[in-house]
Chains A and B, each alone.
Chain A
């Protein structure tokens, strides 16, 4: 059984695994690719949404500071004009407007801080000589800070040199409002940015500058709250690439390139140029070794800041990676289960095949036993020159129901042919019983009709399945040529006659039809007799010969049997074996490639 070779089982199992694995890998690879693309798109959207939120929050806060500063100057200091986008100044007309008193200025600032808690300190400085009682280069300057709701006043003077400070200087120089570089307010330990708004008098002459300090801690808090992914870093840098917001406060006001770990901003030149030009963008950047990060940024133009969010790719793709891991485990598990099932099924098949093989082997043994029951030695009776006998049996299945037999007793040849109803093992069992009975009763009975009656009565008893056997029994007296015969439901044999003039003729015998053996108990069998002259012969066959089918189910038929027998002599057949071989050749030629459907049996007896 080559099919059951262990190597073949292993190879098949391996093939199943490899093919299964490949199909899975391909399918999963495509799924993974699509999932990754989808996740990338979603991550970009998510980060973009969060960065837009931070940007609009901070921009809104800054704008409010600009608005309230303008409102203060325009309502309390008589200003009237303001350039678009707050990028301008406020102008007063000193001819119609009188500036508030110094005390009034302090009070206004206190009210202003009280109403706007996001502003932690406000200062207003005037040019020299705008207020009376000022002299030299410095004029009047008031500064109020809000320390946890408690207002602290400070009058800035010579010592503070406010006109040289950035907040005053830049606004005075450019005549425009100005957001200062964030700086550390050492007294309060805050990182602060300052908005300066100039106040002009008649003819664009500078009158003073209002400054509002904003604590960036609030922005940092907002940044820390936003986290599209657990380890996403939201940061803000100013126009000099110094950190305004960072989760690590030690980074604040340090340039990004001073902070070694933070390489993102300088990865790509085009990115830096975009930032310098106050544009937004999104990049995939290298973060440390072998890891990538999503890096999105967006400008806050009024302050010259850039908000950025950086998310490690590993976090963005963690779902996909988890799916990859889980699915791979499931796939490996499935393939293993498949393999186990496969091997189990194969074992099962192996067992079935083995048991089938053992049945087949037993059938073969049965066939051998059966074939051993019919005489096969040729010449059958070498010592008897009055006889030429030959039998032929070719079963359709491995064991069949056809039979023939011959033997000599008291110088008489007993011969018989038979066909058991059905095929296979039941038929072969019945056949062996018939042969055994035949040999037994022939020891004491000489007349074929008596022999058949005896066998019939024996096998009909308790024959529940109504198995029966068509049988032709003949007894040839070798001294006289007298042939007694009895036909138990079998096909009529052919007889070869030799006429007085020596011509040979083959004809079908017309026998009395008795019932087949086994059909019904107690039936009488009627025998007949004839004489065979020298050279005459009797040819017995089963319906396997006459009913042999070709591929179109055409039967070989009685006529063809008759014809092939009659013509065998012309073909050179002399011995009975040659006759039978010749008839079989004709049958085989007729059948062609059609499968043999019934046992083919022939027996020929020639009296010499």
Chain B
């Protein structure tokens, strides 16, 4: 699992690569700290290279989402594969995030 964070103006883009499962969730939780610190901005999660997401991964995205609600930012998820999109759909993620 790899998370690359890019910044342009007031948008932070996190590019997620690989499998976000229970095993990699601890690492991801530390890696996404810069996004947590900028939860008052627009955050874009690029999931086009995300192969798999487990409930532990969803939980971390949810933490980020709640932080943006508290700080006045927002989270947009883009490029999710059908497999990942299905997980987002089933678990009701769609109603919590901006999907693009």
* A residues at B contact (CB < 8 Å): 419-423, 465-468, 470, 488-492, 513-516, 519-520, 523
Are B92 and A519 interface neighbours, CB within 8 A? yes
Are A422 and B59 interface neighbours, CB within 8 A? yes
Are A519 and B96 interface neighbours, CB within 8 A? yes
Encode contact with A along B8-23: 1 for CB under 8 Å, 0 otherwise: 0000000000000010
A467 CA to B25 CA in the complex, in Å? 13
Number of B interface residues at 8 Å Cβ cutoff, please give it. 17
Determine how close the nearest CB of chain A comes to the CB of B56; give it in whole angstroms.
5
Are B22 and A422 interface neighbours, CB within 8 A? yes
Determine how close the nearest CB of chain B comes to the CB of A550; give it in whole angstroms.
16
The majority secondary structure among interface residues of chain A is: loop
Are A423 and B22 interface neighbours, CB within 8 A? yes
Q: Which of B22, B55, B59, B96 contacts A515 (CB 8 A)?
A: B96
Are A419 and B55 interface neighbours, CB within 8 A? yes
Are B90 and A466 interface neighbours, CB within 8 A? no
Are B63 and A515 interface neighbours, CB within 8 A? no
> What are the 3 tightest A-B residue pairs by CB atom distance, in nearest-first order?
A515-B92, A421-B55, A489-B91
Are B63 and A513 interface neighbours, CB within 8 A? no
Q: Which of B56, B62, B90 contacts A470 (CB 8 A)?
A: B90
Restricting to B44-65, which residues have a CB under 8 Å from any CB of A?
55-56, 58-60, 62-63
Determine how close the nearest CB of chain A comes to the CB of B20; give it in whole angstroms.
12
Q: Which residue on chain A has the smallest CB distance to residue B83?
A: A555
A422 CA to B62 CA in the complex, in Å? 13
The majority secondary structure among interface residues of chain B is: helix
Are A513 and B56 interface neighbours, CB within 8 A? no
Complex interface: chain B residues within 8 A of A519 (CB):
62, 91-92, 96
Are B63 and A466 interface neighbours, CB within 8 A? yes
A453 CA to B7 CA in the complex, in Å? 38
Given that A422-B22, A466-B66, A520-B96 are contacting pairs, would A515 and B91 also be in contact in the complex, using a CB cutoff of 8 Å? yes
Q: Which residue on chain A has the smallest CB distance to residue B23?
A: A597
Check: B89 CB closer than 8 A to any chain A CB.
yes
A515 CA to B89 CA in the complex, in Å? 9
Given that A423-B22, A465-B59, A467-B59 are contacting pairs, would A516 and B92 also be in contact in the complex, using a CB cutoff of 8 Å? yes
Complex interface: chain B residues within 8 A of A489 (CB):
90-93
Are B90 and A515 interface neighbours, CB within 8 A? no
Complex interface: chain B residues within 8 A of A523 (CB):
95
Complex interface: chain A residues within 8 A of B93 (CB):
489, 515
A489 CA to B90 CA in the complex, in Å? 5
Are A466 and B62 interface neighbours, CB within 8 A? yes
15 pairs, A vs B, C-beta closer than 8 Å: A419-B55, A422-B22, A422-B59, A466-B60, A467-B59, A468-B58, A468-B91, A490-B90, A491-B90, A514-B92, A515-B96, A519-B96, A520-B62, A520-B96, A523-B95
Name which of B22, B59, B89, B94 has the most chain A CB atoms within 10 A of its CB. B59
Complex interface: chain A residues within 8 A of B56 (CB):
421-422
Complex interface: chain B residues within 8 A of A465 (CB):
59, 63
Name which of B55, B60, B63, B96 has the most chain A CB atoms within 10 A of its CB. B55
Complex interface: chain B residues within 8 A of A470 (CB):
55, 90-91
A124 CA to B63 CA in the complex, in Å? 129
Complex interface: chain B residues within 8 A of A423 (CB):
22
Complex interface: chain A residues within 8 A of B89 (CB):
513
A423 CA to B58 CA in the complex, in Å? 14
A466 CA to B63 CA in the complex, in Å? 6
Given that A421-B55, A466-B66, A515-B96 are contacting pairs, would A492 and B91 also be in contact in the complex, using a CB cutoff of 8 Å? no
Q: Which of A419, A421, A488, A491 contacts B59 (CB 8 A)?
A: A421
Are A515 and B95 interface neighbours, CB within 8 A? yes
A68 CA to B52 CA in the complex, in Å? 114
Q: Which residue on chain B has the smallest CB distance to residue A516?
A: B91
Restricting to B32-91, which residues have a CB under 8 Å from any CB of A?
55-56, 58-60, 62-63, 66, 89-91
Q: Which of B55, B59, B66, B94 contacts A513 (CB 8 A)?
A: B94
Inter-chain pairs besides A466-B63, A492-B90, A513-B94, 20 sampled, C-beta below 8 Å: A420-B55, A421-B59, A422-B22, A422-B59, A423-B22, A466-B60, A466-B66, A467-B59, A468-B58, A468-B59, A468-B91, A470-B55, A470-B90, A489-B92, A489-B93, A490-B90, A515-B93, A516-B91, A516-B92, A519-B96
Name which of A468, A492, A523 has the most chain B CB atoms within 10 A of its CB. A468
A492 CA to B94 CA in the complex, in Å? 16
Determine how close the nearest CB of chain A comes to the CB of B82; give it in whole angstroms.
12
Determine how close the nearest CB of chain A comes to the CB of B18; give it in whole angstroms.
13
Complex interface: chain B residues within 8 A of A421 (CB):
55-56, 58-59
Given that A470-B90, A490-B90, A515-B93 are contacting pairs, would A422 and B55 also be in contact in the complex, using a CB cutoff of 8 Å? yes
Q: Which residue on chain A has the smallest CB distance to residue B67?
A: A466
A422 CA to B20 CA in the complex, in Å? 12
